[in-house]
A and B are shown apart, each in its own frame.
Chain A
Amino acid sequence: SAVISQKPSRDICQRGTSLTIQCQVDSQVTMMFWYRQQPGQSLTLIATANQGSEATYESGFVIDKFPISRPNLTFSTLTVSNMSPEDSSIYLCSVAVLGLADPSYEQYFGPGTRLTVT
């Protein structure tokens, strides 16, 4: 398994500003992901954070709005830029840990960052 921490745990921000969320893992992991969970909804994958290269974004998410950094195998940041009330969500960092016996991997999540945009 992996222990994941996120900072901040919550924040209230004004529209038009940006917030950077940090994700720290207690061990080196190859795959890191960022998810968004809008109020009352399930999780949606924003992007895969690639170490040493640009993140891979899912359909509907763009780098200008959600720039991601991954400087090493234990740390990543997600910035929510030029925020609007529609960005109010929980943002979750996640890592995948490969199983020893086969290609299946378990995916673990951080505690999330609850963002409210006013």
Chain B
Amino acid sequence: SQQGEEDPQALSIQEGENATMNCSYKTSINNLQWYRQNSGRGLVHLILIRSNEREKHSGRLRVTLDTSKKSSSLLITASRAADTASYFCATHPYGNKLVFGAGTILRVKS
């Protein structure tokens, strides 16, 4: 069963704007990972944030984690048309396997 719930389900923005996607989960976790999937292909690992971390950056990506609210957000700054994809959060509960959220479909219009 899915632990992560993501919102919005779909997001459409103009190139150059920032995109924010949110993920909420239910149980305690070891870490949370974000992935990108282009058009039904394989998943690309974007970033892992551990439960004792609050924020992490990678290029134009910024991920935050609030374990008290059981939520995470992925911010993509200065979006490009090539960022158009589905984005998934996946939680790693302690001692358990990775569980995926439903995903957010991001469309960046040029």
Contacts and interface: CB of A to CB of B under 8 A. Distances in A.
Given A1-B45, A42-B103, A92-B42, A106 B50 contact: no
Contacts of A107: 33, 45, 90, 98
B20 to A, nearest CB: 20
Main SS at interface, chain A: strand
A114 B98 CA distance: 22
Interface of A: 1, 4, 6, 33, 41-45, 48, 90, 92, 102-112, 114
22 contacts: A1-B45, A6-B42, A41-B102, A42-B2, A42-B101, A42-B102, A42-B103, A44-B100, A48-B97, A92-B43, A104-B48, A105-B92, A106-B48, A107-B33, A107-B90, A108-B45, A109-B35, A109-B45, A110-B42, A111-B42, A112-B40, A112-B41
